[in-house]
């Protein structure tokens, strides 16, 4: 039972209440060594285990696929030509995305590791293998990390990328550079950002560039029980010459989404998390319903669901997040962009919804 509980319990081990409210988008604040959330946020608690254990013991949901998924493969030849739309997205599962935007390629939250866990022999295991080896990636201009949790920052992935591409540029929130250096990323290759800070990524072609701005999120950080909140977490605006993309990473619902949309929108494409949700930890994860509300606050456009379909991180059935968001999209006439894992997909602002998750039922 400990193995199945491990992922959830690691995220719900303590209570941290932040007695402040961010009235505007601003730099992150700290109390001692710990970064603070922008609004009052509860992360777990001493009694959470007693609430969770009965739920796990009685749970009958299909939390992991009964039959193997895929195979899913990425054809590297697809990257030989730049995207016709100037915006192409390859979703590798969960929150790992290759974004080709206005001549710049950014790899976001890459996790090629077998497990989203601190050890290789226990913890949430991938539902399907990586769709391509890291060595087969096209030339990437930068890697963007949203926070240091295992399902967003894989040690083996970082180490291999650092070995294969030592000149690769990395962008991350405050405090995460030390981890990247420890995993093999050379000194001088990492840019740390505070909330509302920006940096520019140059593309391979002269004159192509992308501005990346770190923005607040309602979540937390830490790769053990002893270092919670000691590195920063966040979301990102990616602004090219033609397109704007918002990568929401992990966050609970808060009024900052409206502020982000007002100041930095409108967005052509908005990536928001829909999986690993439960009412017990709604302060730090959106879920499908929260994603729809956040999407409206951000100003609408096209919604890409992320943070689902690869790891067993909650109590719900593995298909539940995409089934729910699909139903909500139909009900509220939302435009979804949800391609098959590993498929480089052009973005034209139209509805894209692969049915890969329905196959074999």
10-residue mean pLDDT series, the chain (361 residues): 37 45 81 95 70 71 91 97 97 98 98 95 95 98 98 98 98 98 97 98 94 98 91 98 98 97 97 93 95 98 98 94 98 97 98 91 64
Looking from the CA of 265 toward its CB, the CA atoms found within 13 Å total 22
Q: How far apart (Å, rounded) are the C-alpha atoms in residues 185 and 161?
A: 8
Q: What's residue 59's pLDDT?
A: 75
Q: What's residue 98's pLDDT?
A: 98
The contacts of residue 6 (CB under 8 Å, 6+ apart) are: 117, 122, 123, 124
Q: How far apart (Å, rounded) are the C-alpha atoms in residues 44 and 104?
A: 39
Cα separation values, 131 from 72, 91, 305, Å: 5, 10, 19
Q: What's residue 263's pLDDT?
A: 97
Q: At what angle do helices 48-58 and 2-11 cross, to 10 degrees?
A: 140
Q: What's residue 293's pLDDT?
A: 98
Domain residue limits, the chain: 2-63+83-358
Q: What's residue 274's pLDDT?
A: 98
Q: What's residue 53's pLDDT?
A: 66
3-state secondary structure of 67: coil
Q: In this predicted model, what pLDDT tens digit does every residue of 148-192 receive, in sequence order?
A: 999 999 999 999 999 999 999 999 999 999 999 999 999 999 999
Q: In this predicted model, what pLDDT tens digit does every residue of 123-145 receive, in sequence order?
A: 999 999 999 999 999 999 999 99
Of 53, 149, 42, give the one whose Cα is nearest residue 95: 149
- Write the burial class of residue 287 (CB in 10 Å: 0-12 exposed, 13-18 middle, 19+ buried): buried
Q: In this predicted model, what pLDDT tens digit does every residue of 186-225 receive, in sequence order?
A: 999 999 999 999 999 999 998 999 999 999 999 999 998 7
Nearest-10 Cα torsion for 85, 100, 300, 315: 130
Cis peptide before 266 (omega within 30 of 0): yes
The fold of 2-63+83-358 is: Metallo-beta-lactamase; Chain A (3.60.15)
Q: Provide the β-strand partners of residue 246.
A: 237, 270
């Amino acid at each position: 039972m400990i193995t199945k509980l491990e992922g959830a319990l690691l995220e719900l081990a303590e209570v941290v209440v932040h007695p402040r409210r961010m009235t505007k988008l601003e730099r992150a604040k700290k109390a001692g060594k710990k970064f603070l959330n922008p609004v009052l946020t509860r992360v777990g608690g001493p009694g959470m285990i007693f609430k969770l254990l009965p739920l796990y013991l009685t749970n009958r949901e299909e939390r992991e696929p009964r039959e193997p998924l895929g195979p899913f493969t990425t054809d590297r030849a697809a990257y030989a030509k730049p995207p016709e739309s100037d915006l192409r997205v390859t979703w590798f599962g969960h929150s790992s995305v290759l974004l080709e935007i206005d001549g710049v390629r950014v790899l976001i939250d890459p996790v090629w590791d077998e497990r989203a866990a601190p050890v290789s022999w226990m913890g949430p295991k991938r539902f399907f293998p990586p769709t391509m080896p890291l060595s087969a990636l096209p030339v990437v201009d930068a890697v963007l990390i949203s926070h240091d949790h295992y399902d967003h920052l894989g040690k083996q992935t970082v180490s291999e990328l650092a070995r294969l591409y030592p000149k690769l540029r990395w962008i991350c929130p405050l405090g995460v550079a030390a981890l990247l250096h420890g995993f093999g990323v050379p000194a001088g290759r990492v840019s740390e950002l505070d909330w509302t800070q920006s940096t520019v990524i140059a593309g391979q072609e002269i004159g192509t560039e992308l501005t990346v701005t770190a923005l607040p999120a309602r979540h937390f950080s830490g790769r053990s029980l002893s270092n919670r909140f000691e590195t920063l977490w966040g979301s990102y605006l990616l602004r090219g010459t033609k397109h704007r993309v918002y990568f929401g990473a992990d966050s609970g619902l808060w009024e900052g989404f409206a502020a982000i949309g007002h100041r930095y929108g409108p967005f052509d494409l908005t990536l928001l998390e829909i999986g690993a949700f439960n009412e017990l930890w709604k302060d730090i994860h959106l879920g499908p319903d929260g994603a729809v509300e956040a999407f409206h606050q951000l100003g609408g456009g096209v919604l890409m669901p992320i943070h689902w379909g690869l790891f067993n991180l909650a109590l719900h059935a593995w298909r539940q997040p995409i089934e729910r968001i699909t139903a909500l999209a139909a009900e509220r006439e939302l435009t979804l962009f949800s391609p098959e894992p590993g498929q480089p997909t052009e973005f034209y602002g139209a509805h894209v919804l692969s049915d890969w998750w329905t196959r074999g039922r």
